[in-house]
Structure 1
Amino acid sequence: MKTFQGKTAVLTGAASGFGLELARLAAAQGMNVVMADVQQDALDRAAEEVRGLGARVLPFRLDVSNAAQVEALGAATVEHFGVPHLVFNNAGVAFGGLIWEHSLKDWEWVVGVNLMGVAHGVRVFTPLMLEAARSNPEYQGHIVNTASMAGLLNAPNMGVYNVTKHAVVSLSETLYQDLHLVTEQVDCSVLCPYFVPTGIHESHRNRPKDSLSQAKPTPSQLVAQATSAKAVTSGKVTAQEVAQKVLDAVRDRQFYIYSHPQALGMVQKRLEDVVQGRNPSDPFEGRPDIGQQLRQALREAMR
């Protein structure tokens, strides 16, 4: 996809972080922008800003874990702008803690947003894009799913998050292969960011009340929250820089998108463990001080 002028982009998680930066870039490229987010007040502010950049904007309050709402988003998009050319399944939440301490409600919330939100987006929009491709040989479509470096690694004390992000990488790789069986006009990518200041460490602010566990957060979950907040807020690569990488990847039909390519050394080590049948390597081998801090924090918290 070499040009974006006049095309339509759909973005979930559009009121902050990567979603908002992508919306800004889409507006600058002359695109129509469908902005979906679960937080109504933030969505209203973001949509007003993007309209101010000259874009035609359709704001849509959306819980991506709700299949019917994603289906309604697809219908509204087609009604207002026609079949979209770009779909960014970007909405996500962060949640950590020792994996056996996640409650059923925790699993349902994180899997619902991080995995099923992407699955619903693929399920709803891919058929529309394929039909547009069959009807118009000039049509070009592209889907970008937001995973994480946590989809290629398995950091401790981040169990449910890791599980969902690995699943998004798998879903995206499968989508890539499946699309290439049937068309040359619709493609896809997976975004695997590392620590970028996006506000994802504050995901709990939008957690639905009916998804809350009866129990208070466990000590390991509180440690994970503090660790995530520190890592995310101290990130040096900006969400705007990552958003530009995404648009560049769409233009170049690049599948894997990384915010921090230097982290791929850890991915290579993990894959070597798999291929050679080794036990998993120490994830803190390069930074033993961080590993020691986490062990000490967890052991003190659990006394």
Structure 2
Amino acid sequence: MTGHRVAAITGSGSGIGRELALACAREGMALALADIDIEGLAATEALARTLGVPTFAQKCDVARAGDVEAFAASCEKVFGGVDWLFNNAGVAVLGPAWTATDADWEWVLGVNLRGVANGVRSFVPRMRARGVAARVINTASAAGLATLAGSAVYCASKHAVVAFSECLARDLEQAGDPIGVSVLCPSLVPTQIHQAQRSRPAHLSDTVEPAAAYNDRVRLGMAASPIDAADVAAATLAAVHAGRFYVIPHVQTGGSIRRRMDAMLGDFDAQHTGVP
């Protein structure tokens, strides 16, 4: 048990997850850290401890419901519960939609979508039972608000996270629980997601190597980002404090959203002009 507020963060061994952990620590929050990468996890915990907050870390494959349930049980045992839950772990594959294998779909949906669902199923009932103000923050992507070639599997998973988060917010509001929801939708920032294959389970290794052009696009996009993972974390915490649902750190994402919405409404108007 601790007198600190508690943040639980999956995918906290690197990138945005690590920066979310450190940002929460700077606010004096105790940290429950989870990742499949135990070396990265240990490094994040070491950094957090220099900020003087209680921490614990646990290896967790978010695609495995049992791992997430064990992590939630540990959070309850060590800290008595969680105030902020960050369902942050994510992976990606690239290439034309028709090249995606069954293993690609199972891996990406398992981590990106089922990982979020597992987190909600294991943590939210415990949050509800506590009956205190709390928040769930699900990491989607700008690819969950728009689309681009070569990212069909990734975009599909992240669109699903956005829709799942919207439904979760409605469910909690209807239930009258003091639990808010935010969905984080960053564009490319310098992280290690382009190296996600290193943590891919051996039984899901059936994949088609993407053309160099797709890897180059990701590499150049990360290098060109005007903000980094720490900026994304800062924007996320600011949005949580303000009670905002959509967290969209990159200004260019607005243009992508507008183009997609304009295309939808344009087709809608073309089909229904003059229809009452």
For this structure pair, what is the TM-score category when the shorter chain's length is used for normalisation?
A: over 0.9
Conserved? CA contact 1:7–1:84, under 8 Å: yes
Deviation at 1:80, TM superposition (A): 0.3
**Residue of structure 2 aligned with 1:229, choices 213, 219, 242:** 219
Tell me the SS of whatever aligns to 1:144. strand
Match of residue 209 from structure 2: 217
Equivalences for 1:260-299 in 2 at 5 Å? Answer: 260-277=250-267
3-state secondary structure, aligned to 1:246: helix
Take 1:26 and 1:145, find their aligned partners in 2: how far apart are those partners?
15
In structure 2, runs of 5+ residues without a counterpart are 269-276
Deviation at 1:218, TM superposition (A): 4.9
Shift of 1:176: 0.9
4+ aligned runs moved over 4 Å, structure 1: none
| Paired residues of 2:182 and 2:244 also in contact (CA < 8 A) | yes
> Which consecutive unaligned segments of at least 5 residues does structure 1 have?
134-138, 279-303
1:216 CA drift (Å): 4.8
1:177 pairs with one of 165, 170, 178: 170
TM-score (norm 2): 0.93
Alignment of 1:129-148 (within 5 A): 129-133=127-131, 139-148=132-141
* Structure 1 partner of 2:271: none
Equivalent residues, number: 266
Match of 1:6 in 2: 4
1:145 is aligned with what amino acid? N
Output the amino acid matched with 1:92.
Answer: G
- Partner letter of residue 264 of structure 2? V
**Per the alignment, in what secondary structure is the counterpart of residue 143 of structure 1?**
strand
Aligned match of 1:150: 143
Q: Return the offset for 1:184.
A: 4.7
Residues of 1 paired with 2:190 and 2:223: CA distance?
A: 5
Q: Which residue of 2 aligns with 1:38?
A: 36
AA partner of residue 181 (structure 2)? C
Q: Residue 104 in 1 paired to residue 95 in 2?
A: no
Q: Amino acid of the residue matched to residue 190 of structure 2?
A: P
Are the aligned partners of 1:201 and 1:232 in contact in 2 as well (CA < 8 Å)?
no
Secondary structure at the aligned position of 1:63 is classed as: coil
Distance in 1 (CA, whole Å) between partners of 2:236 and 2:49 is: 21
Q: Percent identity?
A: 37
Contact 1:95/1:224 (<8 A) preserved:
no
